[in-house]
Structure 1
Amino acid sequence: MVSMKSFLTLASAALTAMAMPHFANNTESHLLVPRQTINTPSTGFVDGHFYSLWMQSSTGATMNVQGNSYSLNWQTSSQNVVGGIGWNPGSSRVINYSGNFNCAANCYLSIYGWTENPLIEYYIVESYGTFNPGSQAQLLGSVNSDGGTYNIYHTVRVNQPSIHGTATFDQFWSVRTSHRVGGSVNVGNHFAAWASHGLRLGSHNYQIVASEGFQSSGSSSITVN
């Protein structure tokens, strides 16, 4: 027979255990990491991680950011959508990423960023769908990096959306010849390769591992380190 004192001690211990946060293998549950759902164009920080979501039509895409991961779902109604997480400002860092990228139409998975003075939009494309973004650009050469070959392209955008409204600006591209989703990207190798062809960046604005869809539908789930 259990005494009243023992019963009260057991009850107190049970209540204390119920009130404590749950840990799995001494690691706090991922559910405790703040998550934010973004479905309108914006930039900002979630739990210290920079994110950016841009949509041409301001609708048709939803991005969830949680810790160093994001998921993005987009529809054709977004017209053009670019979303991801990373850093502000960007730099010539080594980026490791993993995840899934699902799109059978016009879309890219890339290291994506902007510089100012001069205003430059740049892409290091890891995978793409039905359209090779370099097919209508000026081919300048190639660079071998991170176990693959990337073709280097240059284009000029006239009166197009930018981080400073409608503007004319250059685009620098490295497009991987063998598609992959996941790996390590030495961004500095691409910056140096571009510079060797006279493509010089300005002062860094943001830099993200981005999923982009143009008049297409798709989804991605990416973790960035």
Structure 2
Amino acid sequence: MADGIALLCMLYPESAPKQERCLGLLRTNAREYYRQPSAKCTTWSYFQPLKPGKQPVIGGLEIYTSKAALQAQVNDTIYFQPYHETVKRESLYSKPEELVAWYQTDGFVARGKGSKEGEGVLISTTRMECKDRRKVIDVLQGFVTWVEENEPGVLTYAIFTRPKAANEVLLFVRYVDGKALRAHAEAPEHVEVVKALTAQQKSNTTQMWKEVRDSFVSNTEGGNGVQSKL
């Protein structure tokens, strides 16, 4: 996926009912468009805050095989453009959506057919501002294999960077449930990684989310991938 591009999306529905309207439209897209091989979308995961605030928000991560694949999605007249036309016509958003492009540097997005799956997939997004980004990436890369081999409850552990923010790293993690999240956080290996990262960071912000039903994550073009059952 050297040429792949990831979009971290933040959508701001105007109200709770309009948030449900947006989610309904997004679920249709996930089922009927993004799982087609022609979409060239290897990841589609949408999520809501674990602890909702006053302002409704929907987060999302989409990964495409190339910038051309992303542009093809933007040009789609069956799902993508009608979605935005509906948003405008029904005034679904309180403010414009935020889209930030990232590129996967290391880690795994999905484990494949043998994945453990639960009733409530949790997600953490951690955005780090680094003193030395290379050292932060080295620490995380050294931890990826251990997570993949020892924590089946961690469904995704993916590291992203972007050229326009030379000191930033995004860590995107999906957990099968709260038990898996706690086990990961309390593992001695993770505690050591946090210590090493802290020494190389200026700041970091972590947000917790719950994956939306019918979201999916897959390493195979058009595959159903690992699906939430929320």
TM-score range, shorter chain: 0.3 to 0.5
| Larger of the two Rg values belongs to structure | 1
TM-score by length of 1: 0.35
Larger strand fraction of residues: 1
